[in-house]
Amino acid sequence: MTIKLVALDLDDTLLDSKRRVSPRAKQAIRAAVAQGVMVTVATGRMHSSALPYAKQLELDVPIITYNGALIKASLSGEVLSNRPVPRQVMDEILALFREKGWYLQLHIDDVLYVKEYNDRVRLYEETAGVKAEVVGDRFYTIPGEASKMLTIAEADTIQEIQKVMGKRFAGRLSMAVSKPQYLEMTQLGVNKGWALHFLAQKLNIGPESVMAVGDSQNDLDMIEYAGWGVAMGNASERVKAAAQAVTRGHDEDGVAEAIEKYVLRR
């Protein structure tokens, strides 16, 4: 097994609990790149939120953001793929969330839109390192199509919303729980696995030469697609069961260990 392409989730995978990339992980990534391996990130984050980490790692590569809805080069800004939620579906979701009084945020053209500012928005801004645009009732009529729509709530409420959405939008929408409190909605068929497959095909790399590392439900598709799927030590049991290997946790240099062991063969 020779790995030619590595896709790394960011939160709770490459990033530790303080949202930092460890020196050992940086060193392992640079060593892999020096050997001709393409290393990229695959995240639910916005492109503008993921970009600083790609630059910090000196990666000149297409990065997968919005759970696969956008694949865009880190330096040139070239868009390889853009698959937002269709406007008709988006309008139905907006109407439903307005009726139910559920929290929702929109990601359109790499801008984060919210109806009003609250603690959920503040915490998201802190986590993602972005600023939201507060637009009031204009939120429901903002032009464009969303790369991602995200609702944040307590875990039991998220399960309830997911159940309602699953019935109402079956066959028209993809959904993923990236954290117990986050339900992310993208165009039907869009996920990290689809995006990684798309990128690998562009590079003429087969799945047997791809390694994907992640921890959450939204990483399942890419871990299952990759010839070598690696779950973090802090991953859910479902993700661990789908992976070929389990590495250490995100606060224990799990990503560095995986790259050293399976890519650099140290």
**Which sequence positions are flagged as catalytic?**
9
With CA atoms as reference, report the closest residue to 171 among 187, 192, 148.
187
In DSSP terms, 129 is beta-bridged to none
Dist CA 19 CA 10 (whole Å): 9
Dist CA 5 CA 2 (whole Å): 9
With CA atoms as reference, report the closest residue to 185 among 201, 164, 213.
164
Dist CA 13 CA 170 (whole Å): 30
With CA atoms as reference, report the closest residue to 238 among 229, 227, 226.
229
With CA atoms as reference, report the closest residue to 94 among 180, 165, 8.
165
What DSSP string describes 151-178?
A: EE--HHHHHHHHHHHHHHTTTTEEEEEE
